[in-house]
Structure 1
């Protein structure tokens, strides 16, 4: 059996399992809370692994390993920010969000943001938040469909339209059937598979490269200047900007509705604590594995490899065709499955926060499914019609939502209740400043000199400190300074 046949068999088997999970979970969806939060019944393993898979997914296998392969040890400053995000979410945010959402029947992140607002102010917060989620995630979902289609095209020679429709159709089917339960369980399977891969392939690469000592000596002798330095031999202020920028990617975690839903859905405090242990353990295993894979791959292959293709290349070189095909299929499945949590979160924002489902009492689940199907169809059209360059920087949506929602969540978890105007201003400023620095990074001001040139140089650093960190500053000041009156 060749690699292509192994990929096909594995994919078909995996997708049949996903549809089976959707059919099983469909009987659990009687209310809107069941469909969007799994009836708040997630146990520790499902909550922890589905959270981990949703926050990192295939990006860590392909993108992070490629980043370390290209940049060297200074890329590791990303890890404290990302794993620190796990800690803050489960240990600090988790108790308040789980307890309040259950006590006040909050179903979405929008409900939590607008919990103390009333009347038109509450409606404005819910609509503003929902529109931001819709804008950011529709591009993100389309990007995932595009990425999956490229993999299908390369593996099986299918056309772009067929590839997008196949991937989108399968994801939509099990998400429509099983809702949040199906998405969480399939993400759990995905997370477990990723952890196994993150142990197997890095160990084989390390052995092939001669072991830790040989990898280190090879890189010391062959890698470019700065590769083996934790500062990258950058000038002090440039290094500080770089470190803050890559670590600041973790700030985006604090505004993601698909992650907050896991905190709201975990069944009790004991499950939350165990879920944190599961998710942080997963993160340590997977990120350590990808660091090992990247450095071993650099020692084995030198600098001539495309970073994001490193994982596939090493799988093909170190494993028999059948095993290589299974691993490639697993990563492809992870890319495709990333979209399910985004689809549920976007559907919740439109159907619940924008009040669509409330117009049809007793039919909330049906309305949520209709909205989900419409969103999926829109994302398919975008994936087929809009040039791929539109999707090159999907990290923007992660950072923009983090800056728009994160400061408000931090304030509310800290028992500070921002005024309605403060919440709306924080959303607008967080998102707007992220968009501004994203655009500055895209217009190429490096040669202009002066302050503009310096800002553009810093903005061009991986994980731009301006795009990731600066948009948090004013929103944080606003939500802590402009509070709701005590009697309100």
Structure 2
């Protein structure tokens, strides 16, 4: 092992020990189920804002999004308004109602909020269904993040793929098991700060090396494929409209993500929520701008011959000494961990709380939640090893499926409408099934109408249709809760 590799390894060891230390410190706060899954509902603005931002972006923004822009050019940037719009809606439209109702009524999970006005029988049915969908989607999502962690170790340290995955999974499991939601939120805040630092430093170095904005534009104009520097890309007419709507619709995903909604449920008061939004949106602007700069500068430097999803590793090694490169790799692991730990807590909550497992073990809620978490990690590692796929595609599938399943229900309830229980269940299943249908149709061969629609650039049918139809169903079969309360009074 050469000196540079030793420096990187030492940096990563210190970083991982610090995370485990946070887990040990936070473990003292976990006395109840509410502490383990929502941190006692005491998140301040910085913890809530940065942990939300880091959890929503994950390795996808540092690796997957960068690779998408690297490959597609300026047309890929239509995704960004949708993503930022998602931040605005979740924090400013959903935030107050979510925080106030969940605190007042003691909701522990997103499912509790969705089913608050349904009968006990329907509540149980919806909770079980939702838990199964969360487990299914988040296992794919977690597997994608483990794949990103494994790639970091594999690329930089020449470790075998299996060992790389196991190391990354073990560290995440240890501090998430120990500290629960509070440890996850504090570490996510620190990891989000590190990601933002890298999004400033590495793109700036790449841009300078590539000759500044003028040099990048000149190089890409001469070497990039036709349409690369066009806002429409190679698309035109209705295809272009569908492409823009499809990639912008990624911003609908956060509406139904349990691990993100949990941040709004756990924020301590209205002042913290408002400040947290400003922190989160500021982080997003910095990081997405940085990754766009990195992708375009990297394309100019490599001539399009690199793997877009590995661009960050490549440029970190080429442009910085080993110590800085180690910190950049740590940032990628931060992106991985900041999402995986949140997903683990949310999935554990779905199994332990929504499925009612903890009710069979009174007094041992936290222990049971930790056992569930360990089992989930084992399943995700197995999936990551068995089903290789790009980070971008695997994450977006899980993101879109849960967003379409739960997002319309959350939006309708935030708008003070109370859908019938059967309508909620139907909307959840319809959103999920339609997303899976269009995803699978796009992956398989054939010339059927479904395959043709599913393979349209931007995947508009996978991301929009499964969201809109359930939303319409819920609006039609719901009542205005405010009018109902006024009439009753």
More displaced 10-residue stretch of structure 1: 332-341 or 168-177: 332-341
1:404 matches 2:405: yes
1:331 matches 2:326: no
CA change 1:153–1:259 in 2 (3 A) is: same
Find the counterpart in structure 2 of residue 124 from structure 1.
Answer: 125
More displaced 10-residue stretch of structure 1: 216-225 or 128-137: 216-225
Find the counterpart in structure 2 of residue 167 from structure 1.
Answer: 168
* Distance (Å, rounded) in 1 between the aligned partners of 2:334 and 2:287: 17
Find the counterpart in structure 1 of residue 465 from structure 2.
Answer: 470
Q: Could you report, residue by residue, the CA deviation over 1:132-155 in whole angstroms, capped at 9, with x for unpaired residues?
A: 101111222233223323432343
Q: Could you report, residue by residue, the CA deviation over 1:143-171 in whole angstroms, capped at 9, with x for unpaired residues?
A: 32233234323433434443333222211
1:350 matches 2:348: no
SS for the counterpart of 1:72 is helix
Say whether the 8 Å CA contact 1:90–1:276 is kept in structure 2: yes
CA apart distance, 1:375: 1.7
CA apart distance, 1:295: 1.4
* Distance (Å, rounded) in 2 between the aligned partners of 1:387 and 1:359: 34
Q: Which runs of 5+ in 1 are unaligned?
A: none
* Distance (Å, rounded) in 2 between the aligned partners of 1:159 and 1:210: 37
Q: Could you report, residue by residue, the CA deviation over 1:232-288 in whole angstroms, capped at 9, with x for unpaired residues?
A: 141211101110111011111111000000000000000000000000000000011
Q: Which runs of 5+ in 2 are unaligned?
A: none
* Distance (Å, rounded) in 2 between the aligned partners of 1:181 and 1:211: 42
1:483 matches 2:483: no
SS for the counterpart of 2:335 is helix
Say whether the 8 Å CA contact 2:176–2:341 is kept in structure 1: yes
Find the counterpart in structure 2 of residue 212 from structure 1.
Answer: 213
* Distance (Å, rounded) in 2 between the aligned partners of 1:181 and 1:90: 20
Find the counterpart in structure 2 of residue 301 from structure 1.
Answer: 302
1:313 matches 2:314: yes
Say whether the 8 Å CA contact 2:51–2:338 is kept in structure 1: no
Question: Across the two proteins, how many residue pairs are aligned to each other?
Answer: 481
CA change 1:390–1:131 in 2 (3 A) is: farther
Q: Could you report, residue by residue, the CA deviation over 1:14-37 in whole angstroms, capped at 9, with x for unpaired residues?
A: 110111101110111111111100
Say whether the 8 Å CA contact 1:11–1:333 is kept in structure 2: no
Say whether the 8 Å CA contact 1:2–1:322 is kept in structure 2: no
CA apart distance, 1:221: 2.8
* Distance (Å, rounded) in 1 between the aligned partners of 2:38 and 2:313: 35
TM-score by length of 1: 0.94
CA apart distance, 1:336: 4.0
1:236 matches 2:237: yes
Equivalences for residues 91-130 of structure 1 within 5 A: 91-130=92-131
TM-score by length of 2: 0.94
Q: RMSD over aligned Cα, in angstroms?
A: 1.9
Equivalences for residues 73-472 of structure 1 within 5 A: 73-384=74-385, 386-389=386-389, 393-445=394-446, 448=447, 452=448, 456-472=451-467
* Distance (Å, rounded) in 1 between the aligned partners of 2:384 and 2:68: 25
CA apart distance, 1:202: 1.0
Q: Could you report, residue by residue, the CA deviation over 1:349-405 in whole angstroms, capped at 9, with x for unpaired residues?
A: 000001111222222212211211222223233334x23249862321110000000
SS for the counterpart of 2:419 is coil
* Distance (Å, rounded) in 1 between the aligned partners of 2:69 and 2:111: 36
SS for the counterpart of 1:417 is strand
More displaced 10-residue stretch of structure 1: 169-178 or 430-439: 169-178
CA apart distance, 1:99: 0.4
CA change 1:99–1:336 in 2 (3 A) is: closer
* Distance (Å, rounded) in 1 between the aligned partners of 2:318 and 2:112: 50
Say whether the 8 Å CA contact 1:7–1:329 is kept in structure 2: no
Say whether the 8 Å CA contact 1:3–1:325 is kept in structure 2: no
CA apart distance, 1:461: 4.2
Say whether the 8 Å CA contact 2:15–2:330 is kept in structure 1: no
SS for the counterpart of 1:228 is coil
Say whether the 8 Å CA contact 2:172–2:341 is kept in structure 1: yes
* Distance (Å, rounded) in 1 between the aligned partners of 2:445 and 2:208: 43
* Distance (Å, rounded) in 1 between the aligned partners of 2:3 and 2:130: 48
